[in-house]
Each structure stands twice: as C-alpha cells, then as structure tokens.
Amino acid sequence: MKKQRLEDWVLLSLASADAPRSAWRLIKAFPQLADLGDADPEELSRLRLDKKVIERLLDPEIKMEVSSTIETARQWGVELIPFDAENYPPQLREIYDPPFLLYAWGETGLLGQPGVAVVGTRQASLYGLQVAERLAEDLASRGVVVISGLALGIDTAAHRGALRGGVTVAVFGAGLDWVYPHQNRSLAEKIKQKGLLLSEYPFRTRPIRFHFPLRNRIIAGLSLACVVVEAARRSGSLITACLALESNREVLAVPGNVSSKVSQGTNWLIQGGAKLVQSWEDVVEELPEPWRSEIKMKESTQPERKRPILTSEEEEIWQQLSGDQPRHIDDLAEMTNRSISELLVSMLNLELKGYVQPLAGKFYIRRDYSS
C-alpha cells in the first residue's frame, strides 16, 4: 500500500477509533481520504460527527502522531490492515460497522482461515473452564482458528486450549500495547508468538468499558460460528451471540446446570434454537461448506500421548483429588499425612505429567490424563 494512503487510514483511526459511525461518514464524504487532513471545521460540522472526532482531526499534532504510530508498528512488527487492503478479512466486511483499520500482531494469515468463536463468562465454573479448554483444543487440533477476547474465565480457557492444539486469535478492547486483564500478559505473549493479537484501537488506547461490546462484533464477524460455553442471562457473551446472528453466523451453546446463573444464558440460547454442543463434532457439523467437509476429513494434529507413569506416592495423592471439587493443599496434607513442602513437590510433578490442574489460592483439581 502506498505510504500516503496508509497515513490517511491511520489518521482516520487516531481521530475516530472510538466512533466508528463518524468514521464511516468521513469515508463517505472523503472517499479517497487524501483531503481528510485538510478539511475545514465548517465542512466537518455538516457531517454530524462526534465532537471529539472533529477536535482530533483539527489537532495540529495529529499528523505527528500518524508518523509515530506507523513507525511504532514497523518496529514492533505490527501489520496495519485497512478496509481496502487485499488481506482484510472478507467475512469482516459483511458485518454492520466493520472496523476500518486493523492492528494485527502475529500470524496475519490466520485471518483467511476458518475460525470459530469460543466465548463465555468471566465468572466461569470449573465445568465451564474444562469444557472450553477441551473444546478449543479439539477444534484447533483440526485446523480451526479459535477466536476469543482474552478476558478472564472462558476466554482464557479457550485460548489456552487452542494453543495446545493449534492456533488462536485474541481480539483486544484496547491498543495492542495494553494487555487487559494484566493477568493475561504471559498468555498474550504466547498468542503473539503462535497466533494473532488483533485490535481496531491505536496504540496507547486504554481498555474502556464500552470498547468491549464493540470488540465483540469483530469476534463474531471473524467467525463462521460462535460457541457460548457459559453466560449469565444478561452478559457480553450473549451480545456476541446476537451479533453473530445478525451477521448470519451459526450460534451454538454448551448446556449447563439449571440452577447456575452462569448457565442461564446458554440454556436460554438452546431453548431459542441454538445448537447444543457436547463435542467438537457438534460445532463442525454446523459450519458452511467447504469448511465442514475439509475439517471433518482432517485427523487431529495432536500426537498420541503416552500415559506418564505415576509413583505410588503420586498415585495416592491423585486418588484424593476430584475433577469438580477443588482441594486445598492443607486438606491434602491432612488426607495424605504429608508435609506441605513434600506435597508441593508432588503436585508440581503431577501438574507436569498432566494429571493435576492448579487453581488460585493453592487449590487443585484432578485431571484424567485422557482429557
């Protein structure tokens, strides 16, 4: 892309990333974008733009910010993908208010591959986390790009599972230099190395609450289908599901405990006609051709794993664990008559062998090796 054309798109991004409708009015008024930087205040006021957008366009320092943004992207290896670029995702062009400039850090070729959104609540249950992680791993191991929003809970589990099986895309609600939540910085780094970090927001853009519903339209738009694992009756995940429906995407949901608040949204979706999901096959069955046939024909890329041998001490500890009820290290010490220091060594070995999943606060749950 010509340097001047890219500068015009970045100028538009810096001025109106928070106001996509104003941006599209500007694109309609200045289809070549070349005159955008020299527009006069009266001309801009007639376009019914957000006041902040007009102020940014008239800011004398914005052209310096354009150069700085392009240079930062070059140094970091972030690709800037405007709406009229050949590698802009065609499925994203179909949605209402598509992002006009994407900041992409990582494997940008993933934007042209079949993707499935796996989303859900931040307050996920152990059941939800396990389902999301396994489902994402199974899909990714068969060549599906798993797309989510890097939030805590279901999103985090989906990204982690996908990285074990293949690749994933994380869509930010802030600039790419602002990982949110901060607990997922190491996860974001892993995704950048093996998958893709994506945002419509310029560098140094903070995560603001209203960014996330806007972010959800990108998650839905990039996907062939959207799977909701756990969600409350009123939640951002249901917003993503509704956006997916509006974009003519398939919506699927994992059934949950009828007494759990985080299952009310998914069970409601199923009542309304969403496909019930129990495995990766249920998801792939709803994808459009030719993707459905191609994915079903693929063998999992996951190598067959040999079951690691446990010592007698590790086996005894593992038998005391539950798959759905976390055990605290103090309780395990009492149950096995071992010291905390001895147990911590054993729990680390069990985790490395794939038999234990550690949780916050020195709680642990059992993992059957086959899962």
State which of 240, 272, 297 marks the end of a domain. 297
22 vs 143, higher pLDDT = 143
Residues 327 and 289 in one domain: no
CB of 95 closer than 8 Å to CB of 217: yes
Assess whether 350 and 279 both reside in one domain: no
322 and 283 fall within a common domain: no
230 and 353 both lie in a single domain: no
Alpha-carbon distance of 102 to 79, in angstroms, equals: 8
290 within some domain: yes
Residues 284 and 316 in one domain: no
The CA distance from 273 to 279, in Å, is: 18
Amino acid code (one letter) for 326: P
Whether residue 96 is contained in a domain is answered as no
Higher pLDDT, 209 or 32: 209
Domain boundary at 266, 297, 328, which? 297
Residue 18 has a pLDDT of 82
Both 262 and 124 in one domain: the answer is: yes
Given pLDDT bands bounded at 50, 70 and 90, which one contains residue 169? very high
CATH at residue 327: 1.10.10.10
CB 262 within 8 A of CB 128: yes
From CA 147, how far away is CA 197, in angstroms rounded?
10
Instruction: Please give the Cα distance from 366 to 85 (Å, whole number).
Output: 48
- The C-alpha torsion from 285 through 290 and 242 to 228, rounded to 10°, is 40
Using 50, 70 and 90 to split pLDDT, how confident is the model at 35?
A: confident
- From the list 41, 87, 133, the residue with the least C-alpha distance to 79 is 87
Please name which of 64, 75, 59 lies closest in space to residue 10, comparing C-alpha atoms: 64
Rounded CA-CA distance 328/312 in Å is 21
Within this chain, do residues 146 and 264 fall inside the same structural domain, yes or no?
A: yes
Q: With H, G, I as helix, E, B as strand and everything else as coil, classify residue 101.
A: strand
135 plus 280 within the same structural domain = yes
Q: What is the CATH number of the domain that holds 278?
A: 3.40.50.450
Q: Is the residue at 7 inside a domain? A: yes
Residue 359 has pLDDT above 50, yes or no: yes
Q: Note whether 213 and 239 are within 8 A (CB).
A: yes
Residue 334 sits in which domain range?
A: 312-366
151 found inside a domain: yes
Task: Report yes or no: 26 and 49 within 8 Å, Cβ to Cβ.
Answer: yes
| Residue 322 in domain | yes
Residue ending a domain, choose from 273, 297, 321: 297
Please tell me whether residues 153 and 64 are part of one structural domain.
no
Residue 369 has a pLDDT of 53
**Same domain flag for 168 and 71:** no
User: CA torsion 287→118→121→90, rounded to 10°?
Assistant: -80
Count of the separate structural domains present in the chain: 3
Query: Residues 279, 330: one domain?
Result: no
Query: What is residue 356's predicted lDDT score, i.e. its pLDDT?
Result: 85
252 within some domain = yes
- Residue 50: per-residue pLDDT: 84
- What is the H or E stretch that residue 227 is in? strand 225-228
Share of the chain above pLDDT 70, in %: 95
212-229 pLDDT, tens per residue? 989 999 999 999 999 999
- Residue 101's closest CA among 17, 38, 158, 2? 17
Question: 137 or 51: which carries more pLDDT confidence?
Answer: 137
Does residue 281 sit in the same domain as residue 339?
Answer: no
What's the chain's average pLDDT? 89
Handedness of CA 39, 41, 47, 49 (dihedral sign): positive
Helix (H) / strand (E) element for 168: namely strand 168-171
33 assigned to some structural domain: yes
Question: Residue 275 carries which side chain, given as an amino acid letter?
Answer: K
Asked if residue 95 is part of any domain, the answer here is no
